[in-house]
Chains A and B, each alone.
Chain A
Amino acid sequence: MAANIEAFFFGDPATQLFACHHPPSDGVSEYGVVLCYPMGHEYLRTHRLYRFLARRLAAAGFHVLRFDYFGTGDSAGEFEEARLAQWVGDAAAAMAELRRRFLVRHVYAAGLRLGAAVAWLAGVEHSGLDGLALWDPVSSGPEYLDDIIAHENERRQASAHREAGGDRGGRGPQEIVGYPMTDAMYGDLSALDLFGLSRVPASRAFLVDSSDESIQEKLRAHLEGTTTGVRYEHIPHPKTWTQDPYKTVVPSKIIDTVARWMSDRER
């Protein structure tokens, strides 16, 4: 039976972040993983998936830390106050917390969608990781914005109520599927470009692509051109982050593959 998780806040009380710690199955480990969530409605829809991933990684012998960025989940702040750079700083703080609180020496990070981009950027801020797992990463902020704006437009069209669009002169709606989209966050996301980064801040990296069309091939080529120790897996699966939590099928094959890659520490 898995040990109970520990729930706590960390950081400055005014900006405290909520975290759940899953202890390693054997109780003691020098290895730990920080899991970085995606944003907004995608966070809500993938929360369960993250819990499964955390349990699997804990069973593989890692301390696992799931945490909410400032202005999201149970953490302090309002979503309107959130900035991408702060979330990257939060992820780096979670990595430091993992070292400090649980005496972890080897830090890994993993994230899905925008969470993968945040994990990557936080790895730079944290001065390096032992491993980085990128699960269907958002590599281009503008493309990501197009995607979630299309989702919002689809929702409005299907709505039984005629909702006002609230568009800001071609810069997308002021709210996206239940969450505000501030000018500041729109600007932050517009500037996001993983291809502009010279290398992965980890000794090894794992790229998982669950799309039918292998849409991460371009990022794969970029990674392989700039970093050694890159592994790529194409495991098609429905987009969990667009599905209702009620019907989500947990992508257990991807979770197992990520856990096996992380556990294979000698490579």
Chain B
Amino acid sequence: MREEAILFGASQSLVGVVTEPAENGKERPAVILLNSGIIHRVGPNRLYVTLARRLARAGFVVLRYDHSGIGDSAIRRDSLPFEKSSVQETQEAMEYLATTRGVNRFLLAGICTGAVVAYHTARADQRVVGVVLINGQGYIPESEAEVHAYLATRHRRRYYLARALYNLQSWRRLATGRVGYGDILGALGFRRDGRRREKDLPNPKAGEVAAGFRSLADCGTEMLFLYSTGDPGIEELDLILKGKVADLSARETVQYRVVEKADHMFTALASQEELLESTVDWLQDITSRILQGRTR
């Protein structure tokens, strides 16, 4: 296994590290790891580094890099919104690997927003043959507060609130400083007496995302939905698919797994190990099928 630091992209300002097997891995799809929020390319608790090295030992070429403005990559000088620039930059990462490593099929993986970027890139680019969507949150754009409020009304409300208190600092729109318990309840859509405010979640975007997932499945794109127990992303997916997650995960190319006793960023070492094993096993499994021509 060897690792190389690279600069790539239109302005040669995206910083990444390619991890690759000692011998050529170009017959397999390459794996690209996508930033989890604004955590730089090493990933939460260095998970992306560990994952990249395990995958390289299993024969994959792996690239982890920083989107513009994150980690070591320079900010963009144009006004392209993140939703578009992140897809474009992921495509630039694919171009780089195609040019330098001769790989033309790709597997994308990401935690949280990394999952969302993986989804959108897979929708935009047919070279993506599989995605690992880990604790994906934010598939439904511009509705974070509404989604959170809605999710808090669900049957897992108690659990969700407990997590909300713990994860307070992770929530950009909630974490504005020394926020009290009442403020949290308010932000989640509750009155201070703990009763839910009447709030529906009319969001046409959810239907578009559901159609997107089904379209990927129809095209034979391999998908692994991987969640920590009780992660709010589970409820978002449930909302997107209108409670029919099982219908999607029944498809041959779709898998849905939950890592027990894990938080959103897999802080506990045992949960990190389970995440890594699940991801590596699944990627090896689908790659075997791809190489045998049993899927695209």
Residues of A participating in the B interface, judged by any CB pair closer than 8 Å: 1-2, 4-9, 13, 16, 18, 20, 41, 44, 47-48, 51, 72-74, 76, 78-79, 155, 158-161, 163, 174-175, 177-180, 243-247
* A74–B267 touching, CB < 8 Å: no
A4 touches B12 (CB 8 A): yes
A residues near B269, Cβ cutoff 8 Å: 174-175, 178, 180
Contact A177–B72 (Cβ < 8 Å): no
In chain A, what residue has the closest Cβ to B37? A246
Contact B72 A7 (CB under 8 A): yes
Chain B positions 34-55 with a Cβ under 8 Å from a chain A Cβ: 37-42, 44-46, 49-50
Does B288 count as interface, using CB distance less than 8 angstroms?
Answer: no
The docked-state distance in angstroms from the alpha carbon of A243 to that of B171 is: 12
Tell me if B159 and A160 are in contact (CB < 8 A).
yes
Q: Is the CB of A7 within 8 A of B39?
A: no
- Which B residues are in CB contact (< 8 Å) with A160? 159, 162-163, 166, 229-230, 263
Task: For B72, list chain A residues within 8 Å (CB).
Answer: 5, 7, 20, 51
Residue numbers of B with Cβ under 8 A of A are 2-7, 11-13, 15, 17, 37-42, 44-46, 49-50, 71-72, 74, 77, 159, 162-163, 165-166, 169-172, 175, 229-230, 260-263, 265-269, 272
The contact of A18 among B17, B39, B170, B266, by CB within 8 Å, is: B17
Interface pair B15/A44, CB less than 8 Å apart: no
Residue among B46, B159, B171 with the highest chain A CB neighbour number at 10 A: B46
Which 6 A-B residue pairings sit nearest by Cβ, starting from the closest? A178-B45, A244-B169, A7-B5, A161-B261, A158-B166, A178-B267
- Assess whether B5 is in contact with A9, with CB atoms less than 8 Å apart: yes
Beyond A5-B15, A178-B267, A247-B175, list 4 extra A-B contacts (CB 8 Å): A48-B38, A51-B71, A155-B267, A161-B260
- Within the complex, the shortest CB–CB distance from B152 to chain A, in Å, comes to 15
Q: Is B170 in contact with A246, judged by CB distance below 8 angstroms? A: yes
Q: Are B3 and A16 in contact (CB under 8 A)?
A: yes
Q: In angstroms, how far is the closest chain A Cβ from the Cβ of B2?
A: 8
Q: Return A180 CB to nearest CB of chain B, in Å.
A: 6
Say yes or no: B172 contacts A159, CB within 8 Å.
no
- In the complex, the answer to whether A74 meets B5 with C-beta atoms within 8 Å is yes
List 7 A-B residue pairs with CB atoms under 8 Å apart, sorted by A's residue number. A4-B74, A44-B45, A160-B159, A161-B262, A246-B37, A246-B38, A247-B175
Main secondary structure of the interface of A (DSSP, over half): loop
Indicate if the CB atoms of B5 and A72 lie closer than 8 Å. no
Name the A residues within 8 Å of B40 (CB-CB).
44, 47-48
User: Measured between alpha carbons, how far is A174 from B268 in the docked complex, in Å?
Assistant: 11
Cβ of A47 and Cβ of B71 under 8 Å apart?
A: yes
Chain A nearest Cβ from B91, distance in angstroms: 20
Pairwise interchain contact B172-A247, C-beta atoms closer than 8 A: yes
B227, chain A: closest CB distance, angstroms: 13
Expressed in whole angstroms, the Cα–Cα distance for A44 and B48 within the complex equals 13
Within 8 Å CB of A44, what residues of B?
39-40, 42, 44-45
In the complex, what residue of chain B is closest to A79 when comparing beta carbons?
B46
CA distance A78 to B13 in the complex (A): 28
B272 to A, closest residue via Cβ = A178
B165 contacts A246, C-beta separation under 8 Å: no
Chain B: CB-nearest residue to A162: B261
B13 touches A4 (CB 8 A): yes
* Known A159-B263, A163-B268, A177-B267; contact A4-B7, beta-carbon cutoff 8 A: yes
- The answer to whether B230 touches A245 (Cβ under 8 A) is no
Taking the nearest CB of chain B, how far is it from the CB of A73, in angstroms? Answer: 5
Residue of B whose beta carbon sits closest to that of A152 = B267
Shortest C-beta distance, A244 to chain B (Å), equals 4
Q: A249: nearest residue on chain B (CB-CB)?
A: B177
Residues of A within 8 A of B175 (CB): 244, 246-247
**Chain A minimum-CB-distance residue to B176:** A247
Q: Give the complex CA separation of A136 and B219 in angstroms.
A: 54
Report the minimal beta-carbon distance from A58 to chain B, rounded to whole angstroms: 13
Q: How far is the CA of A174 from the CA of B40 in the complex (A)?
A: 25
Contact B46 A72 (CB under 8 A): yes
Name B229's closest neighbour in chain A (CB-CB).
Answer: A161
Residues of chain A within 8 A (CB-CB) of B4 are: 9
Query: In the complex the two chains form, is A179's CB within 8 Å of B45's CB?
Result: yes
Residues of chain B lying within 8 A (CB to CB) of residue A174: 269
Query: Is the CB–CB distance between B7 and A7 below 8 Å?
Result: yes
| Smallest beta-carbon distance A140→chain B, Å | 26
The one of A1, A4, A163, A245 that contacts B261, using a Cβ cutoff of 8 Å? A163
Interface-centre pick from A1, A2, A79, A244 (highest chain B CB count, 10 A): A244
